[in-house]
Amino acid sequence: MAFIRGILDRIILVVGVVAAGCIPSFIAQYRQRVGGRLDQVLQDLAPFQEIANQFHHGSLQELIQHHLTSADSTFHDEGAALQAMVVSAEQLRQALQALNTDLFHQMVYLLTKADPLIARATWEIFSPSFNLTVESVVFALIIGVAIWLVFLAVWILFERLGRLLLAK
């Protein structure tokens, strides 16, 4: 039994380190996707900003309010769509700012505030890679060892439970 545990725990350790080492590349690909979405929203807003520059003293919010207060329902709905794009751009800016930190804070952001649609789209085309930066290697080792320690704790727990059941 010790031989099996010895092999399993080494396999778990190596797989844990390699899997954890791929997390930084997922975060980088997620960040690139967020940046791409922000670029697209800003590009879509650019013509409206030009209109705001011409007729509303450069204020996109004034242009949106002009649309929203219109009696024409099409014009009103266009204002709501513009407002949604402005809100989306701000959310994407905040996400990029949160992702332009150290790896630990990026991971916390991804676990707590990531956009599920962006995360799913990133996962669908995710190309695993192992970054060889000091931060990524240390992160992989810490997470890999943590996974290994959880495995050992579960193994020892079941081993002791088995002994207790056999002793009865």
User: Is residue 100 in some structural domain?
Assistant: yes
Task: Give the pLDDT confidence score for residue 2 in this predicted structure.
Answer: 78
User: Is residue 167 in some structural domain?
Assistant: no
User: Is residue 165 in some structural domain?
Assistant: no
User: Is residue 168 in some structural domain?
Assistant: no
The domain tally of the chain equals 1
Average pLDDT, the chain: 93
Q: What is the pTM of this model?
A: 0.83
The model's pLDDT over 59-107, given as tens digits with 9 standing for 90+, comes to 999 999 999 999 999 989 999 999 999 999 999 999 999 999 999 999 9
Tell me how far apart the alpha carbons of residues 109 and 95 are, in angstroms, rounded to a whole number: 8
From the list 98, 131, 90, the residue with the least C-alpha distance to 114 is: 98
Domain that holds residue 142: 2-160
Strands (E), the chain: none
From the list 115, 155, 125, 128, the residue with the least C-alpha distance to 12 is: 155
Task: Give the pLDDT confidence score for residue 109 in this predicted structure.
Answer: 96
